[in-house]
Amino acid sequence: MAKSRRELSSLVLEHQYNPQVEVVPREEAKKILRSLRAKIWQIPWIRASDPLARVVGARPGDLLRLRRRSPMAEVVETYRFVVPA
Amino acid sequence: MSALREVEPVLERLREVLPQSLYRELVAKLSREQMDREKALEVIYETLKLYVKALIDAGEAIGIVTAQSIGEPSTQMILRSFHFAGLREFSMALGLPRMIEIVDARRRPATPLMYVYLDEEHSKSREKAEEVAKRIQSVTLETLARSVDVDYLTFSIVVELDPEQLRYRDISPKHLEKVLAKVRGKGLEVEFDGNVVVFRLDTNDPVKLRKIRDKLLQTRISGIKNVRKTVVRQDERTGEWYIITEGSNLEAVLQIEGVDPTRTYSNDLHEVAEVLGIEAARTLIANELKRVLDEQGLDVDMRHMFLVADAMTWTGRVRQIGRHGVAGKKESPLARAAFEVTVKNLVDAATKGESEVFKGVFENIIAGRYIPVGTGMVRILMEL
């Protein structure tokens, strides 16, 4: 009756409240930060223990690219910086 | 000839600049109209001009705008909210109390609820939806019992089951036996005799006996922990059947067959943050705030809700707006002191030897300097 435990992680990705996520490669992350004129810690954080971060296998220090569904612009691209715990 | 082909290279570059919805609208309009290249470029130029004009300038005090945009309408909310009381099957926090609950990020909402949406198969009819509701709602031994007796002579508890309840809740005697068998242990024997369940105990303390009886009656036979009540409802607009539950256990309900896990959610911010992550909590905060205001007929732009939600989830955890959250964790000691509990904040900052760098708004007002907002943000570098 109940679905298996592992499936829950994929449910997290599919939930309507969650954005699409991907880990930004290091080189690209540097470029993005330069274009935003921001230090990495000035980007909103996400915990490495966050279900969403865990699903994509993000580690502390990574930059996550989020594609949020937005009522105004349909899709908005933002970032979150993965911090420990 | 459509105007589209003429300006294709220009449009390609606009794709990077304009939001997707605006870009699509522009392309759709251009492909429908007949115009030459010059006219089309003019249209694009005007669109771009209006778009850039609508963008928020650097240094704009958006926090204040949001605070006022949400604050003013909520003053009207208090007076209106009691007209709605008693209209629902559920007691649920509405209006201002709910809004305070959200921005305070309470550990548990006053009325934890889940909105359980169903998959294709189960959302079409009431019967199918009820089926899923039965799987979710927790049923205790107490609801299944017709009578409960404590026999002080043989030190046993006799529970007579109600066959009607068993049938209604879809619980087979076999399932019941299996669940109750697990209760066995520590001087407790379970015996089944038709519709009667007898628990034999090896204690002869009447007080303890009664305590065990109460515990036994609360044993969950089926369903999900914490879900006390389910109500099956139909969406007026789409005709879709869904379930509202009193009590919340998101992690378990997402894994139930027949539930659509992509839309089901709970109104407990912390639970959503835990199960689905901080981004889902952000969306929930914004949506719930919007819903509360919409219910009262107040029209507040969604972007204000997003700003509040962003501030609350910035650190990757749900923080309240207040002393223990957003305002209390500010870098500047003067800004913290200006908010609440002034003396304590100042003493704490002094004992820790914190320094004030005058980068925020509050501390600069206190010091009588220009605040870093709007034109106050710019600095001049002079060559000496």
- Round to whole Å and give the CA distance between B280 and B288: 12
Closest CB from B20, B254, B265 relative to A73: B20
Alpha-carbon gap: A18 to the closest alpha carbon of chain B (Å): 5
Taken in order A10, B306, B311, B58, the sign of the CA dihedral is positive
Structural domain span for residue A48 = 7-83
| Residues 6+ away with beta carbon under 8 Å from B79 | none
Q: Which secondary-structure segment (H or E) carries A64? A: strand A63-70
- The pLDDT assigned to B185 comes to 61
- Picking from B251, B279, B285, B307 by the largest number of A CB atoms within 10 A of its own CB, the best residue to mutate is B279
State whether A72 and B20 contact (CB < 8 Å): no
Once rounded to an integer, what is the mean pLDDT over residues A8-36? 91
For domain B139-222, the question of CATH label 3.40.50.920 is answered with no
A50: in domain: yes
A18, A42, A63: which to substitute to probe chain B, counting the most B Cβ within 10 Å?
Answer: A18
Question: Does A2 reside within a domain?
Answer: no
Token representation of residue B224? 């999900």
If phi over 0 gives left and psi between -120 and 50 gives alpha, with beta otherwise, what is residue B86? left
| Cβ burial, residue B301 (10 Å; 0-12/13-18/19+) | middle
Query: Using a CB-CB distance cutoff of 8 angstroms, which residues of chain B are in contact with residue A74?
Result: 19-21
Nearest to B199 by CA among A16, B207, B214, B83: B214
Which residues from A are below 8 Å from B171, CB to CB?
A: none
Instruction: Tell me the pLDDT tens digit for each residue of B309-357.
Output: 999 999 999 999 988 888 888 889 999 999 888 999 999 999 999 999 9
pLDDT of residue B92: 67
Q: How confident is the model at residue B84 (pLDDT cuts 50, 70, 90)?
A: very low
Q: Which of A11-25, B179-193, B324-338 has the lowest mean pLDDT?
A: B179-193
Tens-place pLDDT, residues B275-299: 999 999 999 999 999 998 998 889 9
Place of tokens 């359980």: B116
Task: Tell me which amino acid residue B327 is.
Answer: A
Chains A, B: CB pairs < 8 Å: 92
Average pLDDT over residues B215-230: 82
When CB atoms are compared, the residue of A17, A51, A72 closest to B303 is: A72
Section B94-100 average pLDDT: 83
Q: Indicate if the pLDDT at residue A4 is higher than 70.
A: no
Q: Is residue A76 part of a domain?
A: yes
The domains of chain B are located at 3-54, 67-111+267-329, 139-222, 333-377
How far apart are the CA of B266 and the nearest CA of chain A, in angstroms? 11
Residues B3-27 have a mean pLDDT of 83
List the CATH number of the domain containing A34: 3.90.940.20
Q: Determine whether the interchain pair A15/B314 forms a contact, defined as Cβ–Cβ distance below 8 Å.
A: no
CA distance A16 to chain B (A): 5
User: What is residue A7's predicted lDDT score, i.e. its pLDDT?
Assistant: 65
Instruction: State the pTM of this model.
Output: 0.85
Q: Given a cut of 90, is residue B264 above it in pLDDT?
A: yes
CA proximity to B51, closest of B76, B26, B84: B26
Q: Assign B111 a pLDDT band (cuts: 50, 70, 90).
A: confident
CATH of B333-377, picked from 1.10.1740.10, 3.30.413.10, 1.10.150.390, 1.10.510.10, is 1.10.150.390
Domain B67-111+267-329 has CATH 1.10.1790: yes
Average pLDDT, chain B: 85
A1: in domain: no
The distance of A62 to chain B (nearest Cα, Å) reads 14
Number of domains in chain A: 1
